[in-house]
Structure 1
Amino acid sequence: MARARARRHDRTMTDQMTLRRAEAADAGTIRALVREAYAKWVPVIGREPRPMSADYDKAVRDHRIDLLYIDGTLAALIETVEEADCLLIENVAVAPAFEGRGLGRHLLAHAETLATTAGHRRIRLFTNALMAANRRLYARLGYGVDGEEEFPGAIAVHMSKAIG
């Protein structure tokens, strides 16, 4: 099973994309996808990124997590948190086999729709300063840097985008 999942899934005309909200029973699957998606960053930042050790049993209860399936296989997810003045994107994870197909951009657009529907005019996120590819993607999508925050062994880059 793991070997089949590791193969790159090429886009075909028959791809069926399905987006659904996570339920409590999905926590283990979410954890597995996040660990797989973030594994590439361990050598870059010198430790496991925070999402790799998050409590997804709790996150499914307290946050909104939307799961994106391609032809029945979990390919990506986005975790959002409703805040008073904006929607916070807590986590975007794409399975390595599905990278390069625009799924992250698709999920970010979905989050912007959620934020607009909730009446927000701003959406925000944060990323590790060493995750340069992610920072470039967010900048291309219109997110600006609001500031940086130092943590032991890391610098978080706070970014936001005006919407609506």
Structure 2
Amino acid sequence: MEFRLAKPQDAGLIRDLVRAAYARWVPIIGREPQPMKADYERATQEHQIDMLYVSGTLVGLIETMLHSDHLWIENVAVRPGCQGQGLGLRLLAFAESKAIEAGRTELRLLTNDAFASNVALYSRVGYSVDRREPFMGGTTVYMSKKLAPAPDSRERHADSKSLQAKQT
């Protein structure tokens, strides 16, 4: 498994993967979910999209935006033939590590309430429902996950110097 940061020239690959990943929801909500209609040329320039490859094949992606107090997860998508193999969990864990590395103590996302398996998955890995709002004849579920703050790098550096001084 390897992650690669998307570039504008990856927009077509991203669009194809997202459309395939979300196609199963069209009959459930009676329309294309918003990620199927996104402008991925623009998204690759304005957001961070990390693409997950297994044996050289794009199998999933996570699109994020860093805010002053949290990391927003805009989109998580896994190729249909690869769903159910833990790749979505791997993508969420990757976002969590990015948030911690950036000094953020919260992840936020939204999903459609009709995507019950997604709501359940997010709940199982520590996300809580913040609110529900009507949207296009359905309900949007806003969720967040609190993270333990990373130790301050200056404190780690000071501790390291203190330990070195004691050892000499």
Give the TM-score taking structure 1 as reference length.
0.89
Gaps in structure 1 of 5+ consecutive residues: 1-16
Q: How many residues align?
A: 148
Q: Equivalences for 1:1-164 in 2 at 5 Å? A: 17-164=1-148
- Describe the SS at the equivalent of 2:129: strand
Q: Which runs of 4+ in 1 moved over 2 A?
A: none
Q: Give identity over the alignment, percent.
A: 55
CA distance in 1, matches of 2:100, 2:2: 21
Query: Rg bigger for which structure?
Result: 2
Structure showing greater relative contact order (alpha-carbon pairs closer than 8 Å, 6 or more residues apart):
1
- Describe the SS at the equivalent of 1:142: coil
Per the TM alignment, residue 119 of structure 1 is displaced from its structure 2 partner at its CA by 0.6
Per the TM alignment, residue 97 of structure 1 is displaced from its structure 2 partner at its CA by 1.0
CA distance in 2, matches of 1:45, 1:84: 33
Gaps in structure 2 of 5+ consecutive residues: 149-168
Q: Which has the higher helix share?
A: 2
Give the TM-score taking structure 2 as reference length.
0.87
